[in-house]
Amino acid sequence: MSLSINTNVISLNAQRNTVNNMQSLQTTMARLSSGLRVNTAKDDAAGLGIAERMNSQARGMTVALQNTADALSMVEVADGALSTVTDVLQRMRDLALRAGNGTNGAAERTNINQEFRQLADELTRIRDQTNFNGQAILGSAAGQFVFQIGAQGGQTISVAFSDLNGVSGLSTIANTLSIDASTSAGNITSILTVLDNAIQGIVGRRAELGAYMSRFENVMTNLRVGIEKQTAARGRIMDADFAAETANLSRTQILQQAGTAMIAQANQLPQNVLALLR
């Protein structure tokens, strides 16, 4: 190697290495301060793309979990209302049986019928006024609802909420069925038949809603697992490894200090030329 002063190759080499160490130090400090391994696209362009897709999936499943919880609540409201309807029908059946007892006369049957008809009116009220978020789920305006239960389009469940008047005998009970003062044993049998058919119809509706509730709970369990695994996978790509980064911080800090010292030493080398000029 020739001895020159215009081009100090050793200093240039030390400067290049020091700049590289500085860039590594900046990257390490950015990771330690943010907790992220990928802070800009240049850190890991491919990993960033994968991580963002996973983030979209996890966020979509989080919204789907909220949607499913709302759907479950909607079905539970309907089931709760039907449970009350069942209780009302059972009470009406008890009253019909009491009215059919020979120890009761016309006055007692008239008194029994007052409660009987009040309960019938309550059936109408429950049917017409049960709603969820302002949407009818038991009355004539009830219909089919589609619930978004996944992070992608088309991942849905449809639930039909139909008018209670479709239950066998319920419309008759709500509108015309009553216990007359002169009600005979035959009339009581007829009334009990209508009530029993209505109770069985309500039980069938509740069984259907119960199946949907079980399904929604399973959907929610699956979504929670999916959110956990997607988030964990994204974290493995995006999160900084503090053990590795702190080790790299110590290394680059030492190299940075050593590089600065070597630049100073290299800049002194041309001074040796002066010895030749003396």
Q: Where in the chain are the domains?
A: 9-35+241-277, 64-237
What is the number of residues in the chain? Answer: 278
* Secondary structure percentages of the chain, helix, strand, coil, to 5: 75, 5, 20
DSSP conformation class of 153 = T
Angle formed at CA 122 by CA 116 and CA 124, multiple of 5 degrees: 115
pLDDT of residue 2: 67
Residue that has been written with the tokens 């990928």 in this structure: 38
Closest CA to 221 of 59, 65, 56, 76: 65
Q: Give the whole-angstrom CA distance, residue 34 versus residue 99.
A: 78
- The amino acid present at 55, given as its one-letter code, is N
Q: How many CA atoms lie within 13 A of 176 on its CB side?
A: 4
Segments of the chain with pLDDT less than 50: none
156 close to 150: Cβ distance less than 8 angstroms:
yes
Q: Give the whole-angstrom CA distance, residue 147 versus residue 66.
A: 11
pLDDT of residue 100: 87
pLDDT of residue 1: 58
- The amino acid present at 181, given as its one-letter code, is A
Q: Give the whole-angstrom CA distance, residue 91 versus residue 96.
A: 9
DSSP conformation class of 36 = B
Q: How many CA atoms lie within 13 A of 2 on its CB side?
A: 4
Q: Quote the CATH superfamily of domain 64-237.
A: f41 fragment of flagellin, N-terminal domain (1.20.1330.10)
